[in-house]
Structure 1
Amino acid sequence: MTKFQTLLSSSLILFFAGVLAADAQAQTVECGPRNAAINALTDEYGEVRRAIGLDPRGIVEVYASDETGSWSVTVTLPDGRTCLLAQGEHWIAAPGPLTTGRIS
């Protein structure tokens, strides 16, 4: 992965996490011990970590499974709890930037 792709991926994750965190305030967010949360994603859903970034609230991670297409976005808080912010289906790993040029 090039430096640009890494920067773009990180920027998208942080933007996505910010949007989800704002939306999550209106919903109930599930939080628990990090080991239990990550083990559930890997053991039950076959998801592996695809991206990681820092958010003012903690560490944001994206987990996904190529086999099942499921994906999850978590944030791990400074107190060690990991919270599930979003999850879904139809994960497609982008091989590079999805667009070219600037977006207005």
Structure 2
Amino acid sequence: MINRVVVIVAMCLSLPPLAQAHMTDVSCDDSGRMTRMLTDVLGAERLGMGLRDPETMLEVWVTRRNSDWLIVQSYANGTSCIIAMGDHWQGSQANPA
């Protein structure tokens, strides 16, 4: 958990935010860079995604090694923002019926 926080803080300090945030704990970046950071640096995997509106998609990312989770909001303009994060993710199987 500490490593994840250090990486996110370093990313926030080294890259200018591309979207205006309404919360102080939101971290935004170019969607491509955000995806690379999540997969390559944190080892996270996108477990699900869904449209919030025609211009916005929400994604749930989880790290397999320590069960940390992040919710990323991606915009049609190519910007993505981490809007929530936590630990101890517990997934469940959807019932297709």
> Taking structure 1 as the reference length, what is the TM-score of the superposition?
0.62
Aligned to 2:83: 85
- 1:63 to 2:45 alignment: no
Question: Which residue does 1:34 correspond to in 2?
Answer: 31
1:69–1:91: 8 Å Cα contact kept in structure 2?
yes
Aligned to 2:44: 47
Kindly tell me: are residues 83 and 26 of structure 1, through their superposed partners in 2, closer, same or farther at Cα, counting changes over 3 Å? closer
| Deviation (angstroms), 1:68 | 1.4
**Aligned equivalent of 1:75:** 73
Instruction: Provide the identity percentage.
Output: 26
Let me know the Cα RMSD of the aligned residues: 1.9
Residue 28 (structure 1) shift: 4.4
Q: Aligned to 2:61, what secondary structure does the other structure show? A: strand
Deviations 1:39-73 (A, max 9, x none): 11111221101001001250110010222111111
- Distance in 2 of aligned mates of 1:87 and 1:26: 13
Bigger CA drift: 24-33 or 39-48? 24-33
> Aligned partner of 2:34: which letter?
A
**Structure 1 residue 26 displacement after superposition:** 4.0
What's the secondary structure of 2:46's corresponding residue? strand
